[in-house]
A = this chain, B = another copy of it.
Amino acid sequence: MSKTLIRAMILPMTGPDDFYPEGEIAIEGDRILSVGPKGSAPAGFVPDRVLDLPNDVVMPGLINTHTHAAMTMLRSYADDLPLMPWLTDKVWPFEAKMGKEDIYWGTKLALAEMILSGTTSMLDMYGDMDRVGDAVLETGTRAVLSRGMIGNAPNGEQAFQEQIELVENYHGAGDGRIQVMFGPHAPYTCSGEFLQKVKAEADRRGVGIHIHVAETLDEINTIKEQEGKTPVQWLNDLGIFGGHVVAAHCVHLTEEDINILAEKKVAVAHNPESNMKLNSGTAPVPEMIAKGVVVGLGTDGASSNNNLDLFGEMRSAALQQKLKKDSTALPAYEVLEMATIQGAKALGYEDIGMLAPGYKADLITINFDQPHFYPRFSIPAHLVYVAHAGDVRTMMVDGKFIMEERKLLTMDVKKICQEVEQRAKRIAAEFAD
């Protein structure tokens, strides 16, 4: 088994007071052996490789709890439009033209961008998820895959079958780097019957559910009209909650809704930039955290963001809450927890999201030897309010380096960028005239 020792500043995310200004972390195989101050690695630990980065901060890899990776294909294709024309005239027609290989290359591009911005794990929802799984397996990151199923669409049943195949073929693949969840799209695109069928099948196969919930006021009004209750209450009454569920967005919630999410241990994926850009609203994040709801951070797809950068997302999460509530809302360390340990819990992992003995070696280093990181009064505040994607230097996933000095070790970046450029422009050209 490979043995690596990293010497750097360490923010292990094991608690707000835990920080090693001159720390070292020992890694054996895919797991962390020890984390602590200089000299704390076990006696007898002889590393194959020592990485000396005294001006870098090592922290757990960031976790993106809600995205549609392949939508990088639509990045900056349509912006600044009203929601419905944006969807009906731009996004949906483009997506309808995307084939399996477009999704593969779009996902590769997303993974390249995620690695360069510090994200080691994602929860993805899209179609042709087998090719998404292939892209993740080749790249070496971690992912939870869900087949987006619009129950009310003509292909709802086919999507359900693909979801089942996805579980059979990819759940646990890559030494467990890949997990699968069922992905019914949303309360307003799936019938109660379809959702219950999905829940039964997911339970039978021992996997969770990833679903959009309470994203817009339109959704709230639609479900209230149809069912006489909020989307959260309707899903709860249908029996969808209980077990592992990730509800993406949760922008518009009543107090009762929050109580249900807390009681049923539904995790929430909060997507501040998408919620702002699409005028969805401001999710009650501090209120959910106060009631014990697990809240992770997500970027949503690159079509409504337009990047997959969780550093920007952390900053936006904090600023959005402070704008709505007051300047004390969602302090820096809490935001970092959302992007790491809370994200890990949301995705159902018990051994990622912090740097501690026995945890998987999923980590990043951030180059703090730059003007914007001086003076060094607060590492958490610097990471949330100052850092940007370009500051990430190194990434390790499952004990393997996949980026060093911003060079991607498992990807041909040039080829990926060219493929996406050609494929995306070819699709867009079909609508031009």
Which of A's residues lie within 8 Å of B, judged by CB? 72-77, 79-83, 86, 109, 112-113, 116-117, 273, 275-279, 281-282, 305-309, 312, 315-316, 318-320, 322-323, 325-328, 331-332, 369-372, 374-378, 381-382, 385-386, 388-391, 413, 416-417, 420-421, 423-425, 428
B-side contacts of A277, CB under 8 Å:
318-319, 322, 327, 385
Given that A279-B323, A322-B279 are known contacts, is A82 also in contact with B328, CB under 8 Å in the complex?
yes
Given that A116-B370, A371-B116, A391-B390 are known contacts, is A378 also in contact with B76, CB under 8 Å in the complex?
yes
How far, in whole Å, are A118 and B27 apart by their CA atoms in the complex? 39
Q: Looking at the complex, which one of B279, B305, B369, B417 makes contact with A326 (CB distance below 8 Å)? A: B279
Are A273 and B390 interface neighbours, CB within 8 A? no
Q: Looking at the complex, which one of B276, B315, B421 makes contact with A322 (CB distance below 8 Å)? A: B276
Are B319 and A377 interface neighbours, CB within 8 A? no
Are A278 and B322 interface neighbours, CB within 8 A? yes
Are B76 and A385 interface neighbours, CB within 8 A? yes
B-side contacts of A308, CB under 8 Å:
372
B-side contacts of A416, CB under 8 Å:
371
Are B332 and A374 interface neighbours, CB within 8 A? no
Smallest beta-carbon distance A195→chain B, Å: 28
Are A326 and B116 interface neighbours, CB within 8 A? no
How far, in whole Å, are A369 and B414 apart by their CA atoms in the complex? 9
Query: Which single residue of chain B is at the shortest CB-CB distance from A73?
Result: B375
Smallest beta-carbon distance A405→chain B, Å: 14
